[in-house]
Amino acid sequence: MTKKALINNKLIIRFAGMLVMILSGFMVLSTFWSFYYNEIHAATSLLLSAVITFVAGLSAYMLTRKHDYRNIGKKEGYLIVTTTYVSISFFGALPFFLCGAIPNFSDAFFESTSGIATTGATILRDIESLPYGLLFWRSMTHWIGGMGIIVLTLAILPILGVGGMQLFVAEVPGTTPSRLHPRITQTAKRLWGIYAGLTLILTLLLMAGGMDAFHSINHAFSTVATGGFSTQNNSIGEYSAYIQYVIILFMILGATSFSLHYYVLKGQFNKVVNNEEFLFFLKLLAAFTLLFCIILLLVNQSGLEYTFRKSLFQVVSIVTTTGFTTTDYMEWHGFLWFFLFLLMFTGGCIGSTAGGMKMIRVLVLIKNTRLEFRRLLHPMAVIPVRINKKSIPQDIIHNFLAFFLLYMLLFMAGSATMTLFGLDFTSAIGASAATLGNIGPAIANVGPIDTYADIPDPAKWILSFYMILGRLELFTVLLLFSPSFWKK
């Protein structure tokens, strides 16, 4: 008879409590802007949220006995990461709810989850009406979720030791310590160092383009995290060409594997220029930008530079799963909607802040499909899939195939569910694809100038679950629903 696995529940509660306490510190930071702009009610709401969050986290932390963090196993790792993302999404909703900016808690949770999962889907119809402190907190949720609060914890709390490995793997699939440093804490420090550095550089570049400090910081948070929350109702559309090009560059950098950023800093440029996933990523962006530019020039006959910039921005925004917009692409020819929708199933490079299926999976599946024709002609031949001149093990290919199948099944299930809640077919498939892929704006009634506000509350909770699923790349969450997970 199968025995139940001995999962350390107290360890999970204790660790989640510690991370919730860290979240409260970020809430306190957000009050600076409230006090600066004399928004006393918003500052009070943020501080009250911080106190509630801290007390809840401290209670969970203190009510569980001390445990050795080095004993974190795979199961505990998956449970801690999933529990943490649900918890910080819940507590992250408090500032919106207590301030009254989002009086419906289902909406507040949706907005918070969208931030933490770096999705960028919103229920807000008038973003600019929010107090500055809440706008900053909204962008901060992106920045926390982009690189990951657990990776941050590993960087600042080396006491976790080797136990942090399971957490790292569960939150950041594809980036292994061997690529950056054999010690997990050093890997986490390098990742967050690069992440913070890119954020600072982008902030300064945006300020150099005429954007004030507040909006520059907020947009830097959203861009490097490939999240998509803007402080403006028109997203990036009202800003200059210079700012749009700068944001395009940093959306690409945010969606590039942070291992490659590290190699650049080390002067190992050959590892970047010869990286097949990165080259495939750039080629895909170039090909679809050219396609969109040609179609838009033929249909709208606008200026060349403007059309190119509009095409490049939207392709990069969708592929990197950032979700910024500069135009209402629903006014484009329906032929382009189809390709925008397809691009929602791509994503950035693995080990980046981008969501989606990731370029490496798309590339491996394309290569494996192409080689299958050769295998049919030469059934006795051993023809491996190669990436960067190295053979990809069959178990990795099987994992990618399983991921693709699960992703498509979830997309179809989400689409069907949304139609049950009254969404039209186009809006339903758009909402399902955009939340699972952490993209944000989709098509039809959840397009670039619309919001998710009119979707029924139960559907918002389902889409919130999809956002967490997408952020943690399916398996981390879905394993918890497997009966074998709870068995020894």
Q: What is the mean pLDDT of the chain?
A: 88
pLDDT, position 176: 47
pLDDT, position 473: 87
Residues in the chain: 488
* Amino acid at site 333: H
* Amino acid at site 372: E
Kindly state the helix (H) or strand (E) to which residue 317 belongs, with its residue range: helix 304-319
Q: What is the largest distance, in Å, between two alpha-carbon atoms of the chain?
A: 75
pLDDT, position 236: 95
pLDDT, position 186: 74
* Amino acid at site 174: G
Q: Range with the lowest mean pLDDT among 47-56, 160-169, 188-197, 223-232?
A: 160-169
pLDDT, position 167: 57
Chain Cα centroid distance, residue 427: 21
Q: What angle do CA 323, 324, 327 make, to 5 degrees?
A: 115
User: For 120-156, how does the pLDDT look when each residue is reduced to its tens digit (9 = 90+)?
Assistant: 999 999 999 999 999 999 999 999 988 876 666 665 5
Q: Range with the lowest mean pLDDT among 69-73, 322-326, 385-389, 416-420?
A: 69-73
Mean pLDDT of 275-286: 96
User: For 171-199, how does the pLDDT look when each residue is reduced to its tens digit (9 = 90+)?
Assistant: 555 544 445 555 666 777 788 889 999 99
Beta carbons of 284 and 363 less than 8 angstroms apart: no
User: For 287-300, how does the pLDDT look when each residue is reduced to its tens digit (9 = 90+)?
Assistant: 999 999 999 999 87
Number of other CB atoms surrounding residue 206 within 10 Å? 25
Q: What angle do CA 399, 404, 405 make, to 5 degrees?
A: 100
Helices (H), 37-131: 40-62, 74-92, 94-99, 105-116
Beta carbons of 460 and 107 less than 8 angstroms apart: yes
Percentage of the chain exceeding pLDDT 90? 66
